[in-house]
Structure 1
Amino acid sequence: MTPYTVSPLVRLEHHLDGHVVEIVLDRPEALNAVSVAMATAIAAATASVAADPRVRCVVLSSSQDRAFCVGADLKERNGLSDDQLAAGRPGNRAAYRGVLDLPVPAVAAVEGYALGGGFELALSCDLVVAGEDASFALPEVSVGVIPGGGGTQLLPRRVGWSRAASLIFTARRVSAQEALDLGCIDEMVPTGSARARALALAAVVAGHSPVGVRQAKKAMRDGADVPLAVGLDIEDACWAATAFSADRAEGVAAFAEKRRPVWPDSESFHPDPLASSP
């Protein structure tokens, strides 16, 4: 594991020879509240990870167990003028989109509070693992705004309109168990073990074809909100990007020879193999 700092607020830790990267939110004194600087750091971290062809899976975690992230830094925002708030909006959007648009699967490891923007960061990941004592909420309407980090779009897509409406309109907080029952999260584990479980899941993902996993995510994400016929064409293009790859040749050979595949060096494929597919 090789840790390095993107900023004083976010650090990256490399696992499994860099195939798994952990993005660690590290502003413990503010429970990882998303300030302007924090948003900039998250955007920089995700851009760095997205550009690294070695990466096969990402884990988003917190440096402490009390909170994953408590959302927007309202103390900072209380001192911003309307012009300053508007000026900071693109950077804030870039942070959440940076997580959402990662080209490899992302797993959120949630302990403690995941409130507002913190819940939205988790929703921006593909899988969410939470400790039993974790709690979740989108309380923005209680302070005069709406969930603006993707919550109004991602939560309905995860749990359906009615369940999302209940959480967003009432601003109520739910336990990890209720979040699991509603479908907001994918796994609940004993308190303090979410990070370990997320890293274990990431290791499983990282063991599979890098090209296959990236293209599977691309097909799923790009095809999620289009007509079925269009989605099937997207799937076919992503299939082509894998079918004629060195990964496919190695995977089939390994199956025939009854051995574990040894995937070609990750440096040999582009972060977006579809860009050069036949």
Structure 2
Amino acid sequence: MTDSISVEMTDRGVTTLTITRPEKLNALNVETLESIADALADVEPDTRALILTGAGDRSFVAGADISYMQDLSTPEAQAYAELGHHVMDALSAFPAPTIAAINGYAFGGGLELTLACDIRIAAENAILGHTEIDLGIIPGWGGTQRLPRLVGDERARRMIFFGDRIDAETAAEYGLVSEVMPAEELTTHVNEMADVLAFKPQVALRAAKEAVSLATETTLDAGLSFEQRAWSGLFGTDDQQEGMAAFLEDRDPAFE
């Protein structure tokens, strides 16, 4: 790919996208954002589970590139915001399940990357926060919208207003991450999770992701209507036939 990211895919269809700017704590510059967007588009057809992480043992992604942002004009800032939203939206809409392996600092745009993933697993040394307020700005790549949906309105307000940095255990208490792991076990644990997902029925898993995502994006009636259509549409697929046959025959299914 580029010097700012690396992409690896196993023969099981697990893709690991790693942001590789450890000397900058994996901060997101324009090149990195564009590379992430390109990589997501490139790997989408063949990926059954996606892992997102940062290089090194200090930082997942420490945020956006402040040296680049410092002297932006309003129109330039708008373009940067649009690029950031494009990446976060592409990650959020990625059809396969996505896992953020948070192996260190996740501030600002780094936290927004995790919010756009389906599952967030943190190392014990991870520190997370929306720290933009102390830079004279606010979260600009989806944080003001996705964080309240995850941790609740007032908790999100406090995190954004005060710019607090919270440790992994506090993030788990808030519901911001679902698990906290010893740092040396994070990669193995996340890889094992992704492997399990890779062996699930792909069409059904993608339908499940789309249906669950609608829960926070539409009305209950619209979501329930989509669920009915998605559920019934899976009947007649090879995986539905195999899954139910395996259950009735008391064996493990062999999904495509």
TM-score range relative to shorter protein:
over 0.9
1:36 is the counterpart of 2:30: yes
Identical counterparts, % of pairs: 35
Aligned match of 2:7: 12
Contiguous gaps of at least 5 residues in structure 1: 1-5, 265-278
Mapped partners of 2:68, 2:87: distance in 1:
17
Q: Which amino acid aligns with 1:27?
A: R
Matched residue SS, 1:109: strand
Deviation per residue, 1:236-272 (Å, 9 max, x gap): 12112312211101111111222221223xxxxxxxx
Mapped partners of 2:110, 2:138: distance in 1:
14
Mapped partners of 2:120, 2:41: distance in 1:
21
CA contact (8 A) 1:66 1:113 kept: yes
1:251 is the counterpart of 2:243: yes
Contiguous gaps of at least 5 residues in structure 2: none
Mapped partners of 1:96, 1:233: distance in 2:
27
Deviation per residue, 1:220-243 (Å, 9 max, x gap): 112333222211101012112312
Mapped partners of 1:49, 1:223: distance in 2:
26
Matched residue SS, 1:12: strand
Q: Which amino acid aligns with 1:211?
A: V
CA contact (8 A) 1:180 1:186 kept: yes
CA contact (8 A) 1:209 1:263 kept: yes
Q: Which amino acid aligns with 1:11?
A: S
Q: How many angstroms does 1:18 deviate by? A: 4.2
Q: How many angstroms does 1:156 deviate by? A: 0.7
With normalisation by structure 1, the TM-score equals 0.88
Aligned match of 2:233: 241
Matched residue SS, 1:243: coil
Matched residue SS, 1:23: strand
1:1-150 to structure 2, matched below 5 A, reads 6-15=1-10, 17-50=11-44, 52=45, 54-150=46-142
1:182-193 to structure 2, matched below 5 A, reads 182-193=174-185
Mapped partners of 1:99, 1:168: distance in 2:
22
Count of matched residue pairs: 256
CA contact (8 A) 1:110 1:195 kept: no
CA contact (8 A) 2:81 2:141 kept: no
CA contact (8 A) 1:70 1:114 kept: yes
With normalisation by structure 2, the TM-score equals 0.95
Matched residue SS, 1:29: helix
